[in-house]
Amino acid sequence: MILGDQLNSNHQWFARPEPNAAYVLMEIRQETDYVTHHIQKIAAFFAAMRHFAERLRSKGHQVLYLPLDDPENRQDLGGNLRELVRKHGFQRFEYQWPDEYRLDRQLLQLIAELGIPAQAFDSKHFLTERHEVGDFFKGKKRFLMESFYRFMRKKHDILMEQGKPVGGKWNYDRKNQNPYDGKAPIPKPLVFSNNVSDIYQMIQKTSLKTLGQIDPQNLIWPISRPQSLKLLDYFVENLLPLFGSYQDAMTQANWHLFHSRLSFSLNTKMISPKELIDSAVSAWQEHPAQISLPQIEGFVRQILGWREYMRGLYWELMPELFEMNYLSHQGKLPQFYWTGETKMNCLKQVVSQSLRHAYAHHIQRLMITGNFALLAGVEPARVDEWYLGIYIDAVQWVELTNTRGMSQFAEGGLIATKPYASSARYIKRMSDYCESCTYDWKKRHGLNACPFNSLYWHFFERHQNRLANNPRIGMAYRTWAKMDAKEKRKTLAQADAYGQNLDQL
Ligand SMILES: Cc1cc2nc3c(=O)[nH]c(=O)nc-3n(C[C@H](O)[C@H](O)[C@H](O)COP(=O)(O)OP(=O)(O)OC[C@H]3O[C@@H](n4cnc5c(N)ncnc54)[C@H](O)[C@@H]3O)c2cc1C
Ligand code: SF4
């Protein structure tokens, strides 16, 4: 069995056709319905799976593919597997370890009931074993990404020179946090024109609930390995030279800036993290004048560091992570997360872009939508559902760790050493959103005061017990302590008023 995010054509399984084996892929309601997904995400997954199945067939493999609208489709893993074993008389079941805890547990239970021998295989995608990150941090109070990243650089000998980091420094984050000043031209994005009308019609026919927009004749996302490799080449040649410099920047004039948009190709395993790193590092070695060290280091850090780290922490912290809510937030997700209809320009831009393209880059996710949900006290489970549905690349092992851990501080500081909470000041510095907003980014209270400001202080005030002793946020509490009592009262009253009317903002 091959799951929808296991489309690794280089896996040992496919080295040669096995006359007595069939590969099973299935489109099932179990996976389309556990949250409401973006329509482009469903279309891209199904299109990539169908493409993968065709490719296997063309190489002489036998494939059993169950489309969503097949009358024989039982719509869940168990029902379909039991039926296939009965119908085809399979004597053995093999699968690749799922990356989601939910599926992992379901399969363990299923194989016990299937009545035939079963074996699980590594999906041969990641640079770490499932429990390697957990083992690395064994006995430590905090899981510092930086120390794991350095270990990975050494272990895989990437950007290293005689045991030391190339250039003498491990980290170039400080050089990589520029706002976009509009000077460097942003290359046009490489987008594809995949016709997924058949899948679109099937989605309509089966009344599947989805969110967001789609042009079914022009799905822009890569749905095959050749397209994924093209996107990788395009990134390395055109975007990597400025990737690091503007990786935290946001502008309403452009939805992708210098980001790779490779996460869907990676998360479906159409390409591997090692391929990405090798390709980017070779380009840097060949063109050091165009690609500086901070750019390549910034990119390697995302793949070799953050991505592997998040995946390892997921396995270390599940299933508890799924329930964590350190700050006891219980609020509802404001309605504008589903529509983009809000006067707050930053949220309007990021949510509308997400509905249009099923994509937002990291800082848009962390510092706009995530930051606001955190300040407004939204229940982490509601925030998770939204992130898990809306993005093209959303799969739980990476979504949950980023949302609960990094963005909502729901695990209490194991992953992020401090909450990623910010007032309008950060958004003003890193974007042009505030320039065309109804709200005034400078104001804490009063007419058209930016909601981020009062909610920011309210957040720190209401969580004093849990956060005031954190040395990384001492500055915020010192500023708050120095603030005039009347100013504090007005700010908190403004936050209360906004908090009670989030849907009207
Ligand atoms: C609240 C929140 C939710 C997120 N949910 C997801 C998700 O469901 N799926 C997902 O793949 N990423 C998620 N991310 C991480 C990151 O935002 C996306 O990987 C990135 O925006 C994808 O766009 P890109 O391919 O253009 O990335 P680039 O900016 O080009 O970065 C290159 C690659 O680095 C990796 N990467 C970068 N940052 C991270 C990170 N923090 N964690 C893991 N990998 C990282 C990704 O594979 C990405 O494709 C989330 C981040 C936040 C803050
Ligand atoms: S003023 Fe406030 S709400 Fe408006 S764009 Fe800036 S940060 Fe966002």
Domains and CATH numbers, the chain: 12-121 (3.40.50.620), 132-317 (1.25.40.80), 336-504 (1.10.579.10)
Q: Which residues fall within 8 angstroms of residue 480, CB to CB, at 6 or more apart?
A: 457, 460, 461, 488
Confidence of residue 91 (pLDDT cuts 50, 70, 90): very high
Q: Which residue from 231, 224, 221 is spatially nearest to 270, judged by alpha carbons?
A: 224
CA 383 to ligand 2 center in whole angstroms = 20
> Does the pLDDT of residue 499 top 90, yes or no?
yes
Dist. CA 252 → ligand 2 center (Å): 12
How would residue 415 be classed by pLDDT, with cut points 50, 70 and 90?
confident
The helix-helix angle for 145-155 and 308-317 (nearest 10°) equals 120
List 194's β-bridge partners, or say none: 219
Angle at the Cα of 485 from the Cα atoms of 479 and 489, rounded to 5 degrees: 100
Q: Using a 6 Å CB cutoff, which residues line ligand 1?
A: 247, 259-263, 266-267, 302-303, 306-307, 310, 361-362, 365-366, 370, 387, 391, 393-394, 398-399, 402-403, 406-407
Q: Examine the pLDDT at 474 and tell me if it is beyond 90.
A: no
CA 299 – CA 412 distance, rounded (Å): 28
- Please state the atom number of ligand 2 nearest to the C-alpha of residue 433: 5
Amino acid in position 122: D
Cα 257 to ligand 2 centroid, rounded to whole Å: 20
Structure tokens given for 349: 């831009």
Q: Token pair of 125, please? A: 């995608």
Closest residue CA from atom 1 of ligand 1: 403
**Residue-level pLDDT at 175:** 72
Number of other CB atoms surrounding residue 216 within 10 Å? 18
Q: Is the CB of 180 under 6 A from ligand 2?
A: no
Cβ of 498 below 6 Å from ligand 2: no
> Residues 31-40: pLDDT tens digits?
999 999 999 9
Q: Which ligand is nearest to the CA of 367?
A: 1
Tell the residue nearest (CA) to atom 7 of ligand 2.
424
Average pLDDT over residues 101-121: 95
Identify which has the larger pLDDT, 205 or 172: 205
In the reported structure, the alpha carbon of residue 208 is separated from the centroid of ligand 1 by a whole-number distance in angstroms of: 27
- How far is it, in rounded angstroms, from Cα 357 to Cα 345? 18
**pLDDT the model gives residue 134:** 92
Could you tell me which residue, 169 or 176, shows the higher pLDDT?
169
Specify the ligand 2 atom closest to the Cα of 428: 6
pLDDT at 278 over 90: yes
Q: Whose CA is nearest to atom 6 of ligand 2?
A: 434
Mean pLDDT, the chain, whole residue set: 95
Ligand nearest to the Cα of 263, by number: 1
| 111-125, 169-183, 268-282, 288-302: least confidently modelled range | 169-183
Decide whether any atom of ligand 2 lies within 6 Å of the 376 Cβ.
Answer: no
Query: How many CA atoms, within 13 angstroms, populate the side-chain half-sphere of residue 170?
Result: 14
Ligand 1 geometric centre to CA of 317 (Å): 19
Q: Is 424 in the pocket of ligand 2 (CB under 6 A)?
A: yes
Report yes or no: 83 and 58 within 8 Å, Cβ to Cβ. Answer: no
| Number of neighbouring beta carbons within 10 Å of residue 30 | 17
Where is 116: in which H helix or E strand? Answer: none
Ligand 1 pocket test, pick from 371, 398, 400 with the greatest ligand atom count within 8 Å of Cβ, gives: 398
CA of 263 to the centre of ligand 1 (A): 7
* Residue pLDDT, tens place only, 286-342: 999 999 999 999 999 999 999 999 999 999 999 999 999 999 999 999 999 999 999
User: What six digits make up the tokens of 344?
Assistant: 């707050």
308 closest CA partner among 456, 162, 137: 137
DSSP for 300-358?
HIIIIIIIHHHHHHHHHHTTGGGG--TT---BPPPTHHHH---S-HHHHHHHHHHHHHS
Chain position carrying tokens 């848009």: 364
Mean pLDDT of 126-136: 95
Res 494 pLDDT > 90? yes
Confidence (pLDDT) at 363 = 97
Residue 285 confidence (pLDDT) above 90? yes
Read off the pLDDT of residues 420-464 as tens digits, 9 standing for 90 and up: 999 999 999 999 999 999 999 999 999 999 999 999 999 999 999
The answer to which of 93-102, 167-176, 213-222, 487-496 has the lowest mean pLDDT is: 167-176
